[in-house]
Structures are given as structure tokens and as C-alpha cells.
Amino acid sequence: MPGNNNPTLLPDLPGYWRLVLTITYAHLQRKEVRSIKTKEGTGIKRVNINIPTDLHNAFKSTTAAQGLEMTVVLLEFIEKYVAKNGPITPRKGRRG
């Protein structure tokens, strides 16, 4: 169709390629994007760790089967670990 730049309206002709380009940017469309939950008024620090996929999946499914959240289980482990081993006072380095 003359004067029409919409590629989806072009006829399918043998021997011709029709290009339809769709780019989806979730951060521009605000789909599947949510903010990180934080507790207001408290000091919260985010920790990222790398673990094998199989271990992550096993941990996730185990906690879900028990009706628990992974974060709660990890926080409980960290609290018990620190209580048992005690916090270590860091040595003062050259940069002070």
C-alpha cells in the first residue's frame, strides 16, 4: 500500500521478505519489574552469593515445601553462626 510504512500491513509476496521487529524492554514497559522489598526505618544490607543451580533449586524447593521463605532460613542460619562463633573484631589496616 503506497504511503503506508506499517510493515504488518504489507502483503505477503513470494520472493520477498517481510521484516517485523519487536523489541521488548521490561524496564520501559514496567512489566515484570518490581522494586526490592526493604523494611523501612531499619538498616538492611543486601547480600548476593553465587551458588550452583542444583543447590539453589533444592534449597528453594525444600523451603517452599516447609512453607518457609529462603531469606528467613538464611537469616536464622547466619544468626546462629554468629552467636556460636562470635563476631570478629576487624584489625585496623593501614587505611584506618
Residues 17-26 have pLDDT tens digits of: 555 555 555 5
CB 19 within 8 A of CB 7: yes
Q: Who contacts 60 (Cβ-Cβ below 8 Å, separation ≥6)? A: 70
Determine if the pTM surpasses 0.75.
no
pLDDT of residue 13: 61
- Average pLDDT over the chain, rounded to whole? 76
CB 3 within 8 A of CB 9: no
Cell numbers given for 10: 504489507
- What is the helix, strand, coil percentage profile of the chain, to 5? 40, 0, 60
Residues 77-95 have pLDDT tens digits of: 999 999 999 877 777 777 6
Report the C-alpha gap between 49 and 55 in whole angstroms. Answer: 12
Q: Who contacts 19 (Cβ-Cβ below 8 Å, separation ≥6)? A: 7
Query: What are the chain's domains?
Result: 7-85 (1.10.1220)
